Amino acid sequence: MDRRQLLYGTGIGLLSGVAAHAGLEANVTEDEAQKPQPLSLSDYQPTSMLHARETRVERARHPVIDIHTHITSSVKGVNGVSLAAERRFHAAPEELIPVMDRKNIRSMVNLTGGYDSGLNETIRKYDQSYGDRFYTFTEPCYARFLEPGYPQTQAEAIEQAHRDGARGLKILKTLGLYLRENITSGKLVKIDDPRFDPMWDACGQLKMPVAIHISDPIAFFTPTDRFNERYEELNHHPDWSFYGHDFPTNAELIEARNRVIARHPDTRFIVLHVGNFAENLENVSQNLDRFPNMNVDIAARIGELGRQPRAARAFFDKYQDRILFGTDATPHVENYPQQLFIDALYEIYYRFLETDDEYFDYAPAKVPPQGRWRIYGINLSDEILLKVYNRNAARVLRLSI
Ligand SMILES: [Zn+2]
């Protein structure tokens, strides 16, 4: 057995094996063929050889309320701060309803409904035209941040949005990571800045839940280097990194958010993306234990939950009344065969929640977009599925279903 056969025979080093194979085809000398050849990370797309069960879950077992979608979004942003009421519409309701019917989605909650005229137009097109299929949340108007009396006018704007039909308030990570004292310049405004207290209180009084996103994967707060588990993602989107500059740490953001939740016990918070710390369920659990007014959604984090299936399953068992189904879906039906993408996206969530399948992709993509790992299903009980799919959201949104 020569060295090349030895590499094949024992499978020593996958990359060495690939290089030896490439060498054979190119008919180069044996010496050269034995040298490991460089392979760019972006070209590396290993195919799993594991024979694992594949269960297709086309429809959720119970009707779904997706608490976290972005059917509309802001048209104009400067340095991460939205400055216009006008909305961009990613998909018409007539395009979404067939997908929703196929996937057993009762309702989609569009978090980024904006404010003023943009909010009203959104509510008219979706909520009011299609009964309970769509619900819209409002957002703060940061363009008015420098106006005198902003804290009070922002609270009044929430009251107006409520009268106009908004179901809750959405806070993007603009607050804490982009909004500055002069809106787009100066010092960053902290999440627990008291100027927002009247806004949080108004939500509590009106029983409008606050869906709050304040941070990002912990890897976004560390250098984009060879040790970063989300290197490819950050390399692709360098502006997603919050490492360095004057950005707060992930821990500082979470502490500031916790102070807001503690200071407003009558306001109900949906802390998005598994409490913005899906990599550390112990931390999320501690906060859920501390704050009865805190709930979480699972949007865009089944990659995290599914790589720790035993801890995730225990988390769902313990907090089964406070976890809401969400995906972060942003439908762009006009751009590409998004219908298929949305179908595949929902099916992965259902497979994760409903089966005990092993080692499957957490996203419909060739290379896992958030990091190179795969996930395992957690096979929730029927009772917990019902709560996560719709009961918990119905309670938070005060729907009778
Ligand atoms: Zn989102």
Cα distances from 115 to residues 34, 74, 82, 137, 175, in angstroms, run 64, 10, 11, 9, 16
Distance 169 CA to ligand 1 centre (A): 13
Beta bridge partners of 297: 324
- The answer to whether 334 touches 309, Cβ cutoff 8 Å, is no
Distance 271 CA to ligand 1 centre (A): 11
What's the pLDDT score for residue 334? Answer: 52
Distance 98 CA to ligand 1 centre (A): 22
What's the pLDDT score for residue 1? Answer: 37
Beta bridge partners of 295: 270
What's the pLDDT score for residue 364? Answer: 86
Distance 212 CA to ligand 1 centre (A): 9
pTM, full prediction: 0.90
Distance 328 CA to ligand 1 centre (A): 5
Cα angle 314-317-321, degrees, rounded to a multiple of 5: 140
What's the pLDDT score for residue 30? Answer: 63
Distance 321 CA to ligand 1 centre (A): 22
Distance 47 CA to ligand 1 centre (A): 30
- The answer to whether 281 touches 306, Cβ cutoff 8 Å, is no
Cα(223)–Cα(227) distance, integer angstroms:
8
CB atoms under 10 Å from CB of 334, counted, come to: 11
What's the pLDDT score for residue 5? Answer: 37
What burial letters (b/e) apply to 7-27, b meaning 16+ CB within 10 Å? beeeeeeeebbbbbeebeeee
**Regions in the chain scoring below 70 on pLDDT:** 1-33, 333-340
What's the pLDDT score for residue 27? Answer: 56
In 28-92, alpha helices (H): 30-34
Distance 135 CA to ligand 1 centre (A): 15
Beta strands in 159-293 (DSSP E): 169-171, 210-212, 269-271
Distance 139 CA to ligand 1 centre (A): 13
